[in-house]
Structure 1
Amino acid sequence: MIHLDHLITTKPLQEVIEVMQPWLKDHFGSASSVNQSGIEARDAIDEARSSLAELVAASNAEEIIFTSSGTESINHAIKGVALANKRFGNHIVTTNIEHPAVMASIAWLEKQGFESSKIKVDKQGRFDPKKLAQSITDKTVLVSLHQANHDLGVIQPIAEAAKITEQKGIPLFVDATLSGGWLPIDVQQLGIDLLALSPHRFYGPKGVGVLYKNRRIPVEPLIHGGLQENELRAGTENIAAIVGAGVAAITAIDEFDQRFNHTTKLQKQLLSGVRQTIKGVHLNGPEPGLERLPHHLSISSEGVEGEGQALAMDLRGIAIHAGSACTIKSMQIPPALKAIGLNADLARGTTLWGIGTNTTNAQILEGIEVFSKVTNQLRSVSPINNLLK
């Protein structure tokens, strides 16, 4: 199987698997224990915590909180900050193309009496910092943004947004569950107060998420019943996954330039090949370059449905994704595609491509060839295409 679905998940590195195995076999102690096994577990967690702190350039390793997933980290950041600051206001500012976990967390808060403003994005999916500034009120307690969009690949002007939130004294949360491990992140330089990471998207394991929280930002715990994670997230730690995430973080730091150069080259090759061999294809989001994630492509094809393309590719041994980056049971048009004005037929004909560090030139060429064949075959029997004719 050729895996071109790295936006959704990545295969854990061999080093990650090897460092996790002892914690699934012989080292089974709990970090809450005072015995030797507990000390070993705490030391392992602390080492991983330091590695994740280095990945985002946190000032202190204690600013890293381990959760069960990127989704939990997002929920904790948004709900936790809002609830901790509700005496100061009830307003949240975000964009209209956020991750479902962001949108659902804010929707839940709205049921508790909070309000939100959603900034509209431009045709490439970028928000305007000026509109952000205009949306902030004296009741705003949180600004929630993303570093790079899951469905469009566009990189957002986070540094400019952070200047605005810092001037107004409002916490800034950034969803980096897609970009973490692929783009450099310096929370201190950028002025980010909270940030979520998903290690399984940068060659770490599933079952662990990361939340960076600046020490001066109050956050209400959402899970109660224990003193773990500086009393912010109760529950016995998933030590194996946590140590695996630490190794994935250090490897990402070491391989940043290599990963960027490799995936950028293949990204351009893939897009060029698809455009040359298939008529009626459209790129969603910016062209490859500094405004787009280096391993991301969102391609809409005329006269065919993306789900059919993805299934046909899978039957031929190539994995890509259809629909929104974080959903599969619902094949509704992703909000991000609606937000940039893509018409419904093109939106339904959207596939997502994620290039990996081990993706080869030959795999890209095969992906282009097979995608061209299945697209033409599906168009020949597609009622959408027949209507267009």
Structure 2
Amino acid sequence: MPMAYSKSFSFLISILLFIFHNFHVSTAQKIKGGYWFPGSSFAVSDINSTLYTHLFCAFADLNASTYQVTISSSNAPQFSTFTQTVQKKNPSVKTLLSIGGGASNPSTFSAMASQAGRRKTFIDSSIQLARSNNFHGLDMDWEYPSTSTDMTNYGFLIREWRTALVNEARNSGKQILLLVGAVFYSSNYYSLNYTIQDVINAFDFVNVMAYDFYGPNWYPNFTAPPAALYALNHPAANRVSGDMGIRDWIGSGMPASKLVLGVPFYGYAWRLLNSNNRGLFDRANGSAFGGDGSMGYSQIREFVSQNRAACTFNSTVVSDYCSSGTTWIGYDDVQSVSAKVAYAKTNNLGGHFVWHVGADYNWVLSQAASRTWG
């Protein structure tokens, strides 16, 4: 075959593979995603994978000198057997290796994405790690591109990543790896816009982190719903909400079917100034237990049981809260989780994901989410 025709044929095959893969993903069942990470002290073998379609193994690291994706020696045994382990209970569950996370240094991602050679190193090493550890895909959690240059380079990176995945699948004869992005709750990151067309073309779907809107370390003076689906008309409210973020993404041109709504299996505990004033946006004085005040759902259930805490579901913002004495905790319980998944279903979103599966209590939240999809 003449060289010109050979190149054209290869390019056509790459495009057809990409179109077929995206058609397959867009018409597949709704995504029920969940993250697991070793710091949760929750064994991979204990995950009830029957309640999920996609499980994310978090996190692989980005080397600040070489820009290769690596898995730490302490995590390697669990990561290498992650897929095999979760598929024992659910053979059809898809697994993805997640890279980065909130504890990673965003400046390392920025430096990596700034040069083509570094991007290639990152991409090639990510694919190699995913294949050698039997994952079905990759998930990038860069929190967050914070300059206009970062956003431009983010677009370059994911565009090149998609091309590399298509080429690798064609050359290896294997099914193309999934590519997912964990993204800010809105398409606008403090006046910086994601390059939407690149996001649409590169990612199979994006995990929208619709939580951490309030917490006692950054809003210490009043209680608030940490992951409100809707904003409350209150003088202290910052007007941020999951619905606002989803509408921003769709308004920017993102197909609803590629948006996967984030649901937290944790909450935050404030210290009330007056135990008699224990509603939303009542006065507080920082974290109730020190640190950032975060508590997993199972810990919250234990607190409620031990302290006979009074619990309330607020349907206006779609959030739960409980209190006992001067401790006030904002979180998502069964009603909030069910309402958020119903919102995703009604608005034809691609699905939902949770952070993190190990924080659930006897799988009640996971079961509520799965039931809501039907």
TM tier relative to shorter chain: under 0.3
Q: Which has the higher contact order (CA 8 A, sep 6+)?
A: 1
Structure (1 or 2) with the greater strand fraction: 2
